[in-house]
Amino acid sequence: MKNSNAEGTKFWVGIDDHADKLVAAVYRGWSERAFARIEVVPDEKGLRQLKKKLLSYDGEIRCVYEAGPCGLVLYRYLNKHGIRCEIAAPSLTPRQAGNRVKTDRRDASKLAVLYRGGTLTMICVPDEEQEALRDLVRARENTVKDLTQARNRLGKFLIRHGYRYRGKSTWTEAHWRWIRAIRLEHDHSTQALELYVAAVIDAEERLKRMDQQVSDAATAYESIVGRYAVLRGIGRLSALTLHAEFGDLKRFGSAPQMMSAVGLVPSEASSGNSERRGSITKTGNAHVRRILVEAAWHARHRPNVGKELRRRREGQPTEVIAIAKRADARLHRKFTRMIWRNKRSTVATVAVAREMTGFLWALGQTL
C-alpha cells in the first residue's frame, strides 16, 4: 500500500458510477488537468482493478461519487480497503446553467474538482444494519402500493362492466361476498376478473407477512420506537420508519437542521429589499416528510390522550412525556391559529409537520 502521504500529495478522485461502467477522473493536488482517468466494469474484477490503480498513487487518496441507484457497494468496498470515499448529495451539487454538454468523463471531472474545492454536500451513510432495516420498511411501503393498485384495477374493471358497490365500506367481508357473486357473460371477462381478484388476494397476503416482519423488527428497536411513538400520529410503524431513514438524530446539530433535511422549510428568493418565500423545498427525505405530514393532520383535533396514545406513553421517562405534552398543545394551537388566519388546511398541516420535526429532534436527543 503506497498511500502513506509521505509528501503531503493528495489525489482527488471523482467517480461517475453506473450499473454498467465506472468512470473515474483523478486530479493530483491543485493541477488543472486530470492526472489519470480510469474506466472499469463495476463487478468484482473491475473493483479490484480500480482499487489496485488507486493504491498505486503515492499520496492520500480521496474519492467521491453521487448518491444514486447503485447504492453503497462502491463506498463500502473502497473504505474497506483503506481508500477514503464519500458520497455527495446530487440535489445539492452545483450546476452550470449554461453547460449543455454532459458525458460520464465530464461528470467525473466535475465531481473531483468540486470535491477538491469543498463545495459538495455529503450525505450521512447508514451502516449495514440500518440499511437492511430501511430495505425492509421500504419493501412494505411498496407492498402497500401494490395492494392499492391491485384494488383500484379490480374496482375500475367492475365499474366498466356496470358493477358499483353501494355498501358502506369496501374490502370488507361483505364487499368480498358481493365480488364473488358477480357473474359475467363472456368467458374471457370472467378470466380477467379472476386474475384481478387473485392479484388483490396475493397482495393482501404479502402485506400480512410484511406487517409481521416489520412488527418483529420494531420489537428489536423498542427503546427508539417507544420514544418516537409518544407523539400524536406517530405509531410504531411510523416510528420504525423514522429510525430506519434517519438513524441517530443526534447527528443534527439543531432542530432547524433536521427540518431542512426533511425538506419542510420554505423556499426563498430574496434580493435587496424584496423578500419572497415560496412553498417548502422538498429537497429532503420524502419518506420521512410523508410520515410527518400525515401525522400532522392529528393536530386539527383537541389534544386529548386516547387509550392507544396513553398505552404508548406508559413507562416512558418524565422528560419524554413532558416533550410530548408540549407538542400536543403547541401543534394544535399552531394549526388552529393558521386556520383562523384563513390559511388552507394543507398549508397549516405542513407548518405543523415542520414544528413536529423539532419535537422529534428533541426526543432523539434523549436517547
Distances (CA, A) of 318 to 179, 227, 314, 315, 366: 51, 11, 10, 9, 11
The pLDDT-based confidence of 8 (bands split at 50, 70, 90) is low
Residue pair 24/37 in contact by the 8 Å Cβ criterion = yes
| pLDDT, tens digit, 9 for 90 and up, residues 226-237 | 999 999 999 999
Provide DSSP, 21-37: -EEEEEEETT-SS-SEE
Q: CA geometry: angle at 141 spanning 136 and 146, to 5°?
A: 120
pLDDT(10) > 50: yes
Report percent pLDDT > 70 for the chain. Answer: 98
List of domains in the chain:
10-117 (3.30.420.40), 128-220 (no CATH), 224-270+280-364 (no CATH)
Its pTM stands at 0.86
Q: How, if at all, do strands 10-17 and 22-28 pair? A: antiparallel
Q: Residue 311, SS3?
A: helix
CB 68 within 8 A of CB 20: no
> Alpha-carbon distance 186 to 275, whole Å?
65
Overall residue count recorded for the chain in this entry: 367
With 60 as the cut, is the pLDDT of residue 6 above it?
Answer: no
Tell me the per-residue pLDDT of 330-357, one tens digit each, with 9 for 90 and over.
999 999 999 999 999 999 999 999 999 9
